[in-house]
Amino acid sequence: MTDILNLNYAGDSPKPDCCMAYCSSCADKSGHVEVNTLKRVYYCFKCGVGGHLDSGDPLRIKRRAKEIPPRVHWEMEETWVGGMAEDYLKGRGFNEYLIKELDPHHGPIPHYIYFPVPNTKNYVDFWTARLWWKSNHSRTDAKKWLFPPGSPGASYRLWGVHRIPQDSDDVVLVEGIFDAVWAYNRLAIFGSSISTVQVNLIRSIHPKTIYIVLDSDAKGKVGGMVKKILNGYTCNLKVVIPPDGKDICDLRWDGTEYIMDKAEDW
């Protein structure tokens, strides 16, 4: 699929027979073009340009395999975390089972723990990293979470799709992987907003009920997320906001009971 495109490949898409690419019309640097090589159509979610690959548009089909960059731009180590990094995870309330589910690794940047983000086929082609310790030599602008440079970004991924079965009765959308690991029906959207690609991936699971559980400081973003999910799609949708100053991961094993008790129809 990726070796027949006359544009720069940006990564896999959650949709079957699709991949992502960089748009030449809007100088896109984040890979917003979705290319369906089965239907032979493309669409840029950033500028709205789209068309048929056989129509003579700039994105005509042609073999350009040498232009495909590596899927993962970090050289990952095989070493599983231990020592102080493991103590940090245990301090967040994760037991050995949950740490195994997160599958943490050391990586190229010191003081970060690296976590794989498997796709629906349980294949790892994306990683994220969490800052776990700031020393006196750490940069003051060090980001809490990192994603591979040059990758399409987290807006094309959902952590947890490798664990949730097709046609699940319900899925719970949470912000981060530390929120999601506590239950098999939770999906991390990597933030408080959701992309069209993520929405389509959620819909492909065919859940009967979708729970939106954002952090308490993201109440204002719930309405936009609900609108995007329900646009052309029908399901039961419920919203839960944790107590002020709390994230759902702070509730640990009690989080599922809290979600069931506090969920409100939208």
- Over residues 248-265, the pLDDT tens digits come to 888 888 888 988 888 888
Flag the least confident range among 94-103, 163-172, 174-183, 203-212. Answer: 163-172
Pairing assessment for the beta strands 264-265 and 209-213 based on DSSP bridges: unpaired
CATH code assigned to 2-63? 3.90.580.10
CB 186 within 8 A of CB 149: no
Domain residues of the chain, as ranges?
2-63, 83-151, 170-265
CA–CA gap between residue 2 and residue 243 (Å, rounded): 45
Beta strand spans in the chain (E): 9-12, 18-21, 33-36, 41-44, 50-52, 112-118, 124-131, 145-146, 170-174, 186-188, 209-213, 236-240, 264-265
Give me the mean pLDDT over the 48-60 stretch.
Answer: 57
Contact in structure between 11 and 70 (CB atoms under 8 Å):
no
Give just the sign of the alpha carbon dihedral 166, 72, 149, 216.
positive
C-beta pairs of 97-105 under 8 Å, 24+ apart in sequence:
98/181, 98/182, 101/163, 101/181, 102/177, 102/181, 104/80, 105/76, 105/77, 105/78, 105/79, 105/80, 105/81
**Architecture label for domain 170-265:** 3-Layer(aba) Sandwich (3.40)
Closest CA to 160 of 218, 208, 210, 102: 102
Which of the residue ranges 50-59, 68-77, 215-224, 250-259 would you say has the lowest mean pLDDT? 68-77
Give the CATH number of domain 83-151.
3.90.980.10
Tally of CA atoms within 13 A in the half-sphere of 228 that contains its CB: 17
Positive or negative: CA dihedral 189, 194, 197, 201: positive
Residue 92 has pLDDT above 80, yes or no: yes
For 219-233, what is the mean pLDDT? 84
Query: What is the DSSP secondary structure assignment for residue 225, as one 8-state letter?
Result: H
% pLDDT > 70, the chain: 75
The first and second tokens of residue 260, run together, are 């069931």
How far apart (Å, rounded) are the C-alpha atoms in residues 159 and 101? 11
Question: Which residue did the predictor score with more confidence, 142 or 56?
Answer: 142
* Mean predicted confidence (pLDDT) in 83-101: 89
Q: In which residue are the tokens 């699929």 written? A: 1
Confidence band (pLDDT; 50, 70, 90) for 16? low
